[in-house]
C-alpha cells in the first residue's frame, strides 16, 4: 500500500499561521524572590523556568512597592512615567498610560480580557480606562485566613475556572501570601519559605488548567508569563534599593520561548510589551519595556 504525502505549500503555511489563536496568562506573585524558589525547590515554578525563558535581574532604581510595580507590569512603563509612588493611588495615571487591558480592547474589542486578583488595588488598575478589562474580580478575603493561603487558593480556583470555561485571550492574576509572609516574618524566615511552597502549588493548579485547555483545543497556543513586583529584606519589608528589595525575575513559557533560555535582560516592565506582541496589537510608543519574544535579542542570553 502506497501513501502519498502532500507537500506543505506556502498557502497552507499561511493558513496555519492565521488559524493560530494566542492566549496569555500572566501570573503575578507578590513579593516573591527567585532565590527562595530555588531554596525550596518549588517544582512548578522550576518546571516553567526549565520549559521556557528565565530572566533574573534588578528593577533598581524603580520604587520597590507593589503599587508602582504592578502598574509598571500592566502598562509597560516605569514609575517615573506613570507617577505612582505607593499603594494609595487612583485610576487617574492610567488615562495617560493605559493598562494592557485598555490597549488590547481599543485595538481589538473582540479580545476577552480578565483580571482576577487577591489584592484589591489590582482592580483599580484593571478597571481603569475606556475600555477596561472585560472581567475584573477581587477575591473577598477568606475569614480566619491569617496567612492569606485560603484567599490565594480561592483566587487560583477562580482563575482555573476562567481558563477552563472561558479561555480569555489575556488573563492576569495576582497572588499575595508570599508578600504577607515577608512583611510578618521576613524573607529569611520559615514562614516565607512555607508561603513560597504554597504559592507554587497554586501556580501548579493554574498551569495544569492551561495545559488541559491547550490539549483539548489544539488551535489555541497558550503562553504563561510569571513575574513579581519586588523582593523583601531578610527581616521583612521593602521599598528601598537593596539587592534583596530590587531583585526581579520573569518566566516565559510558550511556543515563542525556547526551553532552557536564561538571560538578565528582562524585568517586570517587559510583560505588557510581550503580551501585546503575542496578541498582535501594536506596541505603544510610550513603552519603556520591550517584548521578550523579539527575534534579535541584545544582551546575555543563553540556552542551558
Mean pLDDT of 180-203: 98
- Residue in the block written with cell 515554578: 45
pLDDT at 19: 74
Is there a contact between 22 and 219 (Cβ–Cβ < 8 Å)?
no
Structural domain contains residue 238: yes
Backbone angles phi, psi at 223, to 5 degrees: -115, 135
**C-alpha dihedral over 71, 72, 73, 74, to 10 degrees?**
50
The DSSP code sequence of 261-291 is: EEESS--GGGHHHHHHHHTT-PPPTT-SS--
Establish how many alpha carbons lie within 13 A of residue 248's alpha carbon, considering only the half-sphere containing its beta carbon. Answer: 30
Q: Give the chain's domain count.
A: 1
E strand intervals along 183-291? 220-227, 247-253, 261-263
Structural domain contains residue 4: no
Is there a contact between 70 and 174 (Cβ–Cβ < 8 Å)?
yes
What is the pLDDT confidence band of residue 20, given thresholds at 50, 70 and 90? confident
142-171 pLDDT, tens digit per residue, is: 999 999 999 999 999 999 999 999 999 999
- Residue in the block written with cell 506543505: 8
Domain that holds residue 199: 20-303
Mean pLDDT of 122-130: 97
Structural domain contains residue 289: yes
- Residue in the block written with cell 500592566: 74
Report the C-alpha gap between 171 and 135 in whole angstroms: 9
Mean pLDDT of 127-135: 96
pLDDT at 10: 36
203-250 pLDDT, tens digit per residue, is: 999 999 999 999 999 999 999 999 999 999 999 999 999 999 999 999
Q: Of residues 50 and 295, which shows the higher confidence score? A: 50
Structural domain contains residue 159: yes
Structural domain contains residue 2: no
- Residue in the block written with cell 491569617: 146
pLDDT at 180: 97
pTM of the model: 0.92
Average the pLDDT over each of 9-23, 65-79, 219-233 and give the range with the smallest value.
Answer: 9-23
Structural domain contains residue 250: yes
- Collapsed DSSP state (helix, strand, coil) of residue 174: strand
77-118 pLDDT, tens digit per residue, is: 999 999 999 999 999 999 999 999 999 999 999 999 999 999
Structural domain contains residue 14: no
Dig out the grid coordinates for 34 from the structure. Answer: 527567585
Structural domain contains residue 5: no
246-297 pLDDT, tens digit per residue, is: 999 999 999 999 999 999 999 999 999 999 999 999 999 999 999 999 644 4
CATH number at residue 87: 3.40.720.10
Amino acid at each position: 500500500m502506497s501513501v502519498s504525502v502532500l507537500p506543505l505549500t506556502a498557502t497552507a503555511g499561511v493558513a496555519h499561521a492565521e488559524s493560530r489563536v494566542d492566549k496569555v496568562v500572566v501570573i503575578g506573585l507578590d513579593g516573591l524572590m527567585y532565590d527562595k524558589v530555588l531554596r525550596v525547590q518549588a517544582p512548578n515554578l522550576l518546571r516553567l523556568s526549565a520549559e521556557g525563558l528565565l530572566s533574573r535581574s534588578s528593577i533598581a532604581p524603580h520604587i520597590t512597592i507593589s503599587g508602582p510595580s504592578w502598574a509598571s507590569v500592566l502598562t509597560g512603563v516605569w514609575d517615573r512615567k506613570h507617577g505612582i509612588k505607593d499603594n494609595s493611588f487612583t485610576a487617574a495615571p492610567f488615562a495617560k498610560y493605559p493598562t494592557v487591558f485598555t490597549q488590547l480592547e481599543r485595538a481589538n474589542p473582540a479580545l476577552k480580557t480578565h483580571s482576577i486578583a487577591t489584592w484589591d488595588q489590582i482592580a483599580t488598575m484593571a478597571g481603569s480606562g475606556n475600555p477596561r478589562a472585560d472581567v475584573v474580580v477581587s477575591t473577598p478575603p477568606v475569614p480566619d485566613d491569617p496567612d492569606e493561603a485560603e484567599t490565594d487558593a480561592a483566587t487560583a480556583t477562580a482563575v482555573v475556572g476562567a481558563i477552563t470555561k472561558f479561555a480569555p485571550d489575556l488573563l492576569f492574576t495576582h497572588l499575595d501570601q508570599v508578600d504577607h509572609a515577608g512583611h510578618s516574618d521576613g524573607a529569611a524566615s520559615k514562614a516565607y519559605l512555607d508561603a513560597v511552597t504554597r504559592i507554587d502549588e497554586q501556580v501548579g493548579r493554574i498551569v495544569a488548567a492551561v495545559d488541559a485547555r491547550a490539549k483539548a483545543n489544539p488551535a489555541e497556543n497558550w503562553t504563561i508569563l510569571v513575574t513579581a513586583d519586588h523582593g523583601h529584606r531578610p527581616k521583612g519589608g521593602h521599598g528601598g534599593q537593596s539587592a534583596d528589595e530590587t531583585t526581579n525575575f520573569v518566566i516565559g513559557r510558550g511556543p515563542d520561548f525556547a526551553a532552557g533560555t536564561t538571560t538578565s535582560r528582562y524585568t517586570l516592565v517587559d510583560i505588557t510589551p510581550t503580551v501585546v506582541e503575542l496578541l498582535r496589537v501594536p506596541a505603544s510608543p510610550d513603552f519603556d519595556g520591550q517584548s521578550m519574544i523579539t527575534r534579535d535579542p541584545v544582551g546575555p542570553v543563553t540556552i542551558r
